[in-house]
Chain A
Amino acid sequence: MPLYHSEDQAMLAETVTGFMADEGGIKKQLRHFRDMNCQDGFGHALWKQFAELGLTGILAGEADGGMGMGHVEAGIVLREIGRNLTPSPFLATSVMGVTALAAASDDLRGRLLPGVIAGETVLAVAVDEGPKHRPERIALAAEKSGNGFRLKGRKDFVVHGASADALIVAARTSGAEGDADGVTLFAVPRDSAGLGHNAVRLVDSSMASHVTFDGVELAGDCVIGEVDGGRAVLGRMLAAGRIGAAAELTGVGQGAFDITTAYLKTRKQFGRLIGEFQALQHRAAHLYSELEIAEAATIKAQQLLDGGSERAELMVSVAKAKAGRACNLAVREGVQMHGGVGMTDEYDIGLYMKRDRALAEFMGDAAYHTERVAQLSGY
């Protein structure tokens, strides 16, 4: 398969690019909801529009009413989300949540997927415990209780958790914190007794919760996949989130790069456009190179994931690490090349810098994924 978009994918990209630029733009969405101190951190009307285009169900199977597409297509949407800094529950809901739910019972899918696809239901994922992504260790306890389970513990960095209709939670049903076995995935309804959200605003204006589970009672039909055997489905959900975040990062990096090169072509100092200075030209050209490579790695990983390749895990971590570093360079160079105005809230470049930070951390930063590349390579 060639490493560029097929005709169908290019058509999707054209539609999504226009839609996101028109409806998901920085002024209309990010600044609007930030400035009104929105407690969701995103707009529900736009989420409905996502549904009207079919994007909410992009990864859901056609039998479930979805589009039955893959990570390449989801990545097309995420790149445009990144480029426009569009706040939306797409990554957690339609990419990670839907990937996890593919392993759920017909009954559970029937309860959640129609709402997701209709743009009415929002999902959030609760994996991290503590400030760094470390899903190899899951401590949140889910003890047997009657026909169901009782959850006790806490989760962190649950993006838009307080706005979600259900949380996809990785919990421990047996064994010790670091064991591979004994992990189970649950779909936890928002109105569950004992579920507490300490919702905080993050640097990029999104909302995330510290979630407490104080003896949350769940029926057995909230289990996604096998009890104690949740590692595989958790792995698929994480891979979907990581490659999705990488795709969004390539969009953030490209967006930052585009406004920066545009600035180099308009700002004058010493009687010349600053883009004429070779010191800046070389840095811009280097940045271009890094962004191109990050995008290639991301598409490669998407294709491998869609094809079920055994190399997919490795390439997903390569892509998340590479996209993380390239996008970070793009926003740092972007602010520096903007000079003083880059420090003002009026200019958008600072918004890109903030979003990069949050996305870089989401589902493992570049250091985490570089370490993972070493381990998957056998050293």
Chain B
Amino acid sequence: MSDLDAFRTEIRAWLEANCPAEMREPVSDEDDVCWGGRNFKPKNEAQKAWLDACVARGYTVPDWPKAYGGAGMSPAEAKVWREEMARIGARPPLSSFGIWMLGPALLKFGTEEQKVHYLNQIARGEIRWCQGYSEPGSGSDLVSLQTFGEDRGDHWVVNGQKIWTSYADKADWIFCLVRTDKANKYQGISFLLFDMATPGVTTRPIKLISGASPFCETFFDNVVVPKSQIVGELNRGWDVAKYLLGHEREMISGAGGGDRLNAIGAVCARNGALHDPILRAELAMFDVDALAYAAMGEKFLDEAKVGRAHPAQPNMMKYAGTELNKRRHELLMSAGGSTALEWESNETGGGKPSRSWLRTKANSIEGGTSEVMLNVVAKRILDLPGA
């Protein structure tokens, strides 16, 4: 037996013993996700037991170093972990922007002190993070952002506004792009971390077409941020931001796994929707694309873990994955027929099909639009002129 086989046996046995049955069911909605944070209240005992068991072993962030709360798994071991999790349909014990986005940025750009402090908090699910990037006038053209941090010696005083801040009203801390030099467009932005409980921070949820309010407007009115809370160098926050956007795009692309990689034809058939041969054909064509994309996700992760993926590849993944997910929900709506139109009914769990369908429309906008993704691919991967 190879070391990896032995590792797989160990992981399989541990999961069998520690992953509660309830945590092997798919997540039903946003409320069902374990986000962690100061105000986190476990939905049930199983959720708490699963989180605690994973935290104790570093399994919330299996490939982070042990000193930062991870399990120190190699890329090959982390893949075994993902495969064994998928095999039993286990949910991630903890989901957070800290794990997906800030963590990787800190691992690359943080000081040792920052890593020990913030990464351990993230790994244990103690702090829930949100991301302060977009502004009302700076969407696709993010680098034009105006939120300004005025230098006051040992701290900055931050004023401005962010928008589309996911779960800002529920987050404990924010990682935020702030202009610290008005004369330099790209090299005048710093990457700051601060507590959302700091005086001067207010949030206002935005009601979306899905009826939900996962995004907020976030306002900064003379918010004091100590100088120790910068990641990377002063005025070089754009480097951190770009690096982190790669991880955000990777996350939105669904490459790490999850629903959007699954085929849907068989499920729709069970619900009796496939007497229409044209719809059946569309579902089959979708399934081909979904299964092929799942292989792409696996290949991308394998290559990324050993540094073989093109650095701009997450942009391609984000483009393909989000367009696929939108198509997936268009088809689920078609297959669901008039039942899927119900906005408020028990049968649909309060309009889940239609609300999810509307939610996916943001996939190809948030974290960089499909059009921006194609621009980046054309420029950085295809090396097309003047792009």
Contact = CB atoms under 8 A, between A and B. Distances in A.
Contacts of B296: 292-293, 296-297
A370 B299 contact: no
Contacts of A117: none
B215 to A, nearest CB: 27
Point out which of B79, B266, B283, B295 has the most chain A C-beta atoms below 10 A from its C-beta.
B295
Interface in A280-327: 281-282, 284-286, 288-289, 292-294, 296-297, 299-301, 314-315, 317-319, 321-322, 325
B212 interface: no
B377 A285 contact: yes
A261 B299 contact: no
A374 interface: yes
B67 interface: no
Interface stretch (B43-51, B176-184, B378-386): B378-386
Interface string B348-368: 000000000000000000000
Interface stretch (A40-48, A65-73, A143-151, A268-276): A268-276
A273 B382 CA distance: 14
- Which of B284, B306, B381: most chain A CB closer than 10 A? B284
A374 B291 contact: no
B385 A288 contact: no
Interface in A83-109: none
B375 interface: yes
Given A3-B302, A284-B382, A322-B289, A292 B283 contact: no
B375 A281 contact: yes
B101 interface: no
Contact of B299 (A278, A289, A296, A373): A296
Contacts of A301: 295
B292 A374 contact: no
Contacts of A282: 371, 374-375, 378
A322 B269 CA distance: 22
Contacts of B373: 285
A278 B386 CA distance: 10
Interface residues of B, number: 45
Contacts of B306: 2
Contacts of A371: 284
B292 A275 contact: no
A140 B306 CA distance: 52
A329 to B, nearest CB: 13
Contacts of A370: 281, 284-285, 288
A296 B384 contact: no
B342 interface: no
Interface in A232-266: 261, 264-265
Contacts of A281: 374-375, 378, 382, 384, 387
B265 to A, nearest CB: 5
A307 to B, nearest CB: 13
Nearest to A317: B288
Contacts of B280: 374, 379
Nearest to B324: A293
A276 B382 CA distance: 12
Contact of B385 (A276, A314, A321): A276
A94 B316 CA distance: 35
Interface string B281-312: 10111011101110110111011001010000
Nearest to A378: B266
B274 interface: yes
Contact of A297 (B285, B292, B375): B292
Contact of A300 (B263, B299, B316): B299
B175 interface: no
Contacts of B316: 285, 288-289, 292
B35 interface: no
7 contacts: A4-B303, A282-B378, A289-B319, A292-B316, A293-B292, A300-B295, A373-B263
Interface of B: 75-76, 79, 263, 265-266, 268-269, 274, 280-281, 283-285, 287-289, 291-293, 295-296, 298-300, 302-303, 306, 308, 316, 319-320, 371, 373-375, 377-378, 381-387
Going nearest first, the 8 A-B pairs with the smallest beta carbon separation are: A379-B269, A297-B292, A300-B295, A281-B378, A276-B386, A3-B299, A285-B377, A374-B284
Given A286-B374, A292-B316, A373-B263, 20 more contacts: A2-B76, A3-B298, A3-B303, A273-B386, A275-B387, A278-B375, A285-B319, A285-B374, A285-B377, A293-B293, A293-B296, A296-B299, A297-B295, A321-B288, A370-B288, A371-B284, A373-B291, A377-B266, A379-B265, A379-B266
